[in-house]
Structure formats: C-alpha cells, structure tokens
Amino acid sequence: MNKNSPGAGLTQSNRDQTTRIRADLASLREDIRGERMLDWFAADPARAESLTFKVAGLTVDFSKQRVNASVLSKLQALAASTGVEQAIQAMFAGAVLNNTENRAVLHVALRGSVDDDLCVDGENVSDVVTTELERMLAAVGKIRSGDWSSVTDRKITDVVNLGIGGSDLGPRMLTQALTPFHDGQLRVHFVANVDAHELLDTLQSLDAETTLIIVASKSFGTEETLANAKIAKNWLLDTGHSEIVNQQMMAVSSNVQRVVDFGIAADRIFQFRDWVGGRYSVWSVVGMPIALAVGEDNFRKLLRGANLMDRHFREEPLHTNVPVIMALISIWNHNFLGYGSQAVVPYYHFLQRLPQYLQQAEMESNGKGVSRDGEKLLEPCSPVVWGTAGTDAQHAYFQMLHQGPEAVPVDFVLSRRCLHTEPDSHVRLLTHAIAQSEALLCGRSESDSRSGSAAHKYCPGNRPSTTVLLEQADPENLGALLALYEHKIFVQGQIHGINSFDQFGVELGKQLASEIRPMMTGSAPLQGRDASTLGLMRLCRIQPGES
C-alpha cells in the first residue's frame, strides 16, 4: 500500500475493531427488523428535528431512514474505525488516494478548498487552478461578448461540446439544471455517443460559420470523442475556410501534444491536471460549456457553493457531518438491510439528468471488486443508482416502490422556491414529493377505511427515504448539492477500503473494441473469439458496397 494512501495508517487493531462493529450492526439489524419508523416518530417527538441538517443552502432530512440512535452511533464508530476522518484530511492535503495510478485526488482544489501552499509534482496547486480558471473565464467572456468571433468575423451563436463520461455528464446536467440562468447569449449543445445520429442531428440545424466546437477529453484518446471530433472538424472545413479550425475549434484536455497533433492550436487548449478525475472534472475547465451558458458570475457561484460544502465536510465532526451521515445510511441500507438499489428522484424539471450523473459518480467510483490492497471483496460496494424526474416518475415506477416485495431507498431532491411565474404549479410539485415520502413511510393497510379491505391495495410502508431540499435551484446551491454527493461517495469508498478514483473496468470493453474493429471492417479475419462474438460480428459486419 502506498504510504500516503488513507488506508496506510489503519492498524490490525483498527481492523479487528471494524469487524466487531460490523457484527454489532448486524445484531442491530435483527433488533429493528420488525420495528416501524412510525413508532419511532411517536416515541421521539424530536426525531424529525434531530435528524434534519442545514448546510450550504440545503436542508437534508434523514428522519425517514431506518436508523435509530443506536444504529447511527454504531455507524459513526464504523466510520472512525475505518479512518474516515483521516482520509478526509488526507484528500485536502493532496495525499495519493488514487493508489493504483499514484495520483492525488484534488477536485476540491478547483473550488478553492485546499491550503494556499499545497504543492503536487512541484507545482503550487492553487496557482495552477487559478491560472487555468482565469484563462478559461477570460475566453468565455470574449466568446459571449463577440470579441472572440468566427472565421468570418461573425458572433459565435452556438457551442457544441464533444465529450463522453465525465466530459459530458456533469457539464450537460448542470447546463440544463441552470436553464433559468441562461441569458440567451449562446446556445450550448452536447454530443457524447459515437452513434453519429446524435452529432449529425445536432449539426444539421447549426451554421458552421457561427459554431464553436469544444473537444473535451482528459487523455485526448477517447475513441468516441475523437470520432465525433473528426466529423465535426470536416463539417467546419466544408465551409471552405482553411483557418476555421484554428478559430472555431478548441480542446479541454491534459494531453497537449495529442491535441496539437489532431490539429487544434496550442493557444486553444485549456488544461487540467491528472489529479482531477474525469467524473469530478465539472469544476475545472471541463465546465467551460456551463460558463458559456450562464456567464462568469454564475460559474463562480457554482464553485462557491461546492466550497461551502467542502468546508463543512473538512471541519465538521462525524456525528454532524452531512456527507458522512448520508454515506453511513447508504452503507446501512445497502450492506446491512440488503437493499440493492438507490433511486434518486429530483422534483425539478431541469434537474432531470441528476440521476444519470450520479450513476457515474457512484457506480464508476465504487463499483469495485477488490480492496486498495488487491484483496477480493466479500460484499458489494455500490448500489445500482437510478431514477428520473418527478412527477413523471410517479406514473412509471412508483408502483414498484410502494408495493414491490423489495424496498428501494429513495432520495427526493426538491427546490423550495420556484424560478418561474406559476407558483400554484410549484406548490403542486412540492406537495406530490412530500406526499410520496409520507406514503413510503406510512403505507396503507388492507383495512384502511378510506380504501376498503382489499389485499391488492395494501402498501407496506416503512420504506426509507431522504429528502434534500434546496432553498432554490441556483448555481450556489447546486454546487453544494453535487459536492454533497461527491463526498458521500468518497466516504463509502473509504469505509469499504477501495480506491474510488480509478475505473479499470471501463477500459476492458474499450480494449476489446479496438481488437475486433478490424474484423468488423474487413481488414482482419473473423477468428480468435468465442462463437457468440464471432456470430454477432458476422451478422453486423458491413459488406463491400453496403452503406
């Protein structure tokens, strides 16, 4: 184990203590198995208040989770025995948390949350972050004002961001989430899929002479992104302007040489360091599309909100640390109560991509099979994360949430204040969200007089949920919301003893795709694979003369 990794300081005594705590938690699970949360509320009038926390513009209500004081106390002991407090400080200090790739994990530095004198690889981290942020925001200002014009000296009207994974999910989600803060200066589009339908459908309605293309790839080796970049580059060149790529194509990457080799000018490259993981890069220059849509001030507010959550996470003790509590409850639900998935339901139209964003944030981070030491894990470390926006969700899968035999914990994400001019609609929206959380808690008995006696109407209730209430879905509060989930995921990974910051499982499929592509194009014989794979390739192989 790398001496700087957060698990390096754990002794055998810590591990023995963790084993005992886990056994105690298993006993507590049996103790509460037949208990109902409604009885806990009745026995403790202060339960809702004591399990509701306010931080950075968010109110987080954990009181509808299947935890009591004994469970929470023991979960906090679990966090202590697995070195969570030390790991938090190690992250902010630039320790090598990503031990498999020998990298620090410093996305928190992107929002000004590390000490000014922190250096990594001989560079002052704050200076690096500030330099690239200011350079990016200066370019954003010029593009939005028209000072950075097209090759024909016209104002840029549209921006197309080409990226996938962390170079798409975060920027796309936040650009949509901040729709009420768009000022109409630019239209921002996103393309991720290597399926050219997405790119061609986007480009067909745009004017190449007023469109800026951003190619976002940390390594600048991502096949899907580079395939789309080549198509977009040719689309620009089809205008007949030889200088159009230099003027209207830029890149966000940590690999400058590959970008230059592709044909994008060095002064059109915005860099971020390898201590910023892709799925945590929305705060970096990868967030350029967000800034182009909402402007510099709103982008800085986004960073400020995340910074507020960072400070809370770094400074608060375990028992009042909201990301820690959220992580502990997730581990309780997943690893002790046996819930296999986690639904995230934002009751806010423009946050509809939040569940998809959190799928990557959690499942790519913690969907691991071995510990930091390379030992096989005996339990899963990540639930399946899924969801869509409410109230649409109620008419899709809430039937299962209420009556299915397996309970699914739900995170309800709400905005107290609306950003439109129809307050009655907003009251209806909030009413539905609150009612759904109550329905999951209370259920409905067969003998409920309002419904009549019928087994098919029975809803068991006692199903866990957390409500996260934003004061308003503005840049600062959204920044705090994403940082809350980032830190929660980090804590879960630390407790499980895994590296939450690599993703080698993603690489296997890419590697195999590069091997079989020559067979699909006819430049290599169909051989050396299993019978099913060979059969599928025969069916899908494009024959000479086919389009």
Q: Which of 3, 395, 420, 456 is catalytic?
A: 395
Query: Token digits for 269?
Result: 């490259």
Kind and range of the H or E element at 54?
A: strand 52-55
The CA distance from 142 to 154, in Å, is: 13
The CA distance from 108 to 302, in Å, is: 13
The CA distance from 386 to 395, in Å, is: 16
| DSSP structural state of residue 320 | G
**Measured between alpha carbons, how far is residue 500 from residues 53, 224, 232, 492 in Å?**
26, 24, 34, 9
The CA distance from 271 to 110, in Å, is: 12
Residue 349 annotated as catalytic: no
- Is 408 in contact with 440 (CB distance < 8 Å)? no
Q: Which of 54, 230, 319, 510 is catalytic?
A: 510
Query: Token digits for 205?
Result: 């309605």
Q: Which of 132, 224, 362, 364 is catalytic?
A: 364
Query: Token digits for 287?
Result: 């967030």
Cα 160–146–232 angle (5° rounding)?
Answer: 25
Pairing of strands 119-120, 123-124: antiparallel
> What beta strand segments (E) does 192-289 contain?
211-216, 249-253, 269-271
Residue 64 annotated as catalytic: no
Query: Token digits for 121?
Result: 């690889």
The CA distance from 490 to 280, in Å, is: 11
SS3 253: strand
- Is 508 in contact with 500 (CB distance < 8 Å)? no
Kind and range of the H or E element at 398?
A: helix 398-403
DSSP string covering 132-169: HHHHHHHHHHHHHHTSS--TTSPPP-EEEEE--GGGTH
SS3 51: coil
* Cβ count within 10 A of residue 169: 24
Residue 515 annotated as catalytic: no
Q: Which residues pair with 345 in a beta bridge?
A: 412
Catalytic site positions: 364, 395, 510
